[in-house]
């Protein structure tokens, strides 16, 4: 398998699916593989055929985190690969508010992508794999999924913003419990804690996630999705009045779009909308 094949990419019915594809290693990440993943997220964010981005893993695992075999070899850095060729601008590059005002690129590609991101956690999600799932907007897990933040056992702090994300998802006490203990949790406990939206039978996970993502892609206007994503992520620490004013501003912008007119027309005519991201 070539290095480029370590990250799968495909788009179908408005859903871009990005797959960690190193199943013999439970999709453990090498630094080059991580950068290829970030490139795939940027590709999906700019792809006019993509409305929703789904992340999953090949085989029995989601992502086992950093391949510990590269630690101490000088290859554990997540420094970027050589620059990519400039791509022509697409509506996906600039539709809706720009979250890079609040979140940098790199590890935050999943947040700054102006499209919904969904993690389908189909097996072990450890360390960096767990963190990448936390960076998604929505998470679904299979019953055999296992997650943990392994950092304390490796002698390092909560890496790559995971402490910030966990505390906002489940509260400080529960976040610190997971971080201090480095204990493993299954999909059922992850649902109880609020880390995942729901847990499904192993064989039902991908069908559920795919249907859910396609439903969003087919009925939701792209600019509205981008605006709502920015509202939630950027308002985590904003005062209410700031969030309210930003919502009014985005509403005014959305009502000037062709998609708004199409949305109103389709509602009145009792038919499915045909949004074009315009």
pLDDT at residue 270 in the model? 79
Residues 77 and 176: their CA atoms lie apart, in Å, by: 26
Low-confidence winner among 12-21, 87-96, 182-191, 227-236 (lowest mean pLDDT):
87-96
pLDDT, tens digit, 9 for 90 and up, residues 65-77 = 888 776 654 444 5
CATH number assigned to the domain with residue range 3-217, chosen from the 4 options 3.40.50.10480, 3.30.420.40, 3.30.499.10, 3.90.226.10? 3.90.226.10
pLDDT at residue 85 in the model? 47
pLDDT at residue 236 in the model? 74
Q: Please, what is the average pLDDT of the chain?
A: 85
User: Taking the CB of residue 102, how many other CB atoms lie within 10 A of it?
Assistant: 17
pLDDT, tens digit, 9 for 90 and up, residues 180-208 = 888 899 999 999 999 999 999 999 999 99
Residue spans of the domains in the chain: they are 3-217, 221-269
**Whole-Å CA distances, 49 to 86, 117, 135:** 19, 15, 23
By CB atoms closer than 10 A (0-12, 13-18, 19+), residue 174 is middle
Read off the pLDDT band of 277 (50, 70, 90): confident
Low-confidence winner among 117-121, 138-142, 199-203, 265-269 (lowest mean pLDDT):
265-269
Angle, helices 162-170 vs 127-134, to 10°: value is 50
User: Taking the CB of residue 9, how many other CB atoms lie within 10 A of it?
Assistant: 19
């Amino acid at each position: 398998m070539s290095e480029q094949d370590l990250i799968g990419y495909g788009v179908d019915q408005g859903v871009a699916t990005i797959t960690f594809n190193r199943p013999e290693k439970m999709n453990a990440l090498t630094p080059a593989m991580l950068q290829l993943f970030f490139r795939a997220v940027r590709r999906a964010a700019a792809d006019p055929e993509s409305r929703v981005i789904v992340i999953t893993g090949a085989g029995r695992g989601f992502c086992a985190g950093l391949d510990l075999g590269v630690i101490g070899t000088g290859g554990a850095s997540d420094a970027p690969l050589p620059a990519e060729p400039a791509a022509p601008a697409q509506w996906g590059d600039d539709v809706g508010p720009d979250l890079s005002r609040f979140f940098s690129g790199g590890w935050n590609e999943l947040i700054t992508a102006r499209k919904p991101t969904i993690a389908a956690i189909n097996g072990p999600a450890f360390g960096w794999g767990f963190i990448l799932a936390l960076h998604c907007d929505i998470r679904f897990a299979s019953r055999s999924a296992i997650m943990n933040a392994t950092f304390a056992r490796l002698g390092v702090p909560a890496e790559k913003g995971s402490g910030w994300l966990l505390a906002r998802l489940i509260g400080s006490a529960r976040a610190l419990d997971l971080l201090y203990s480095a204990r493993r949790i299954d999909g059922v406990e992850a649902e109880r804690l609020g880390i995942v939206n729901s847990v499904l039978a192993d064989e039902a996970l991908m069908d559920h996630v795919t249907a859910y993502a396609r439903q969003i892609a087919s009925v939701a206007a792209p600019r509205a999705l981008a605006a709502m994503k920015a509202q939630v992520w950027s308002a985590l620490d904003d005062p209410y009045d700031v969030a309210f004013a930003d919502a009014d501003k985005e509403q005014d912008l959305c009502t000037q779009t062709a998609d708004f007119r199409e949305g109103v027309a389709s509602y009145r005519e009792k038919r499915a909308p045909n949004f074009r991201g315009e």
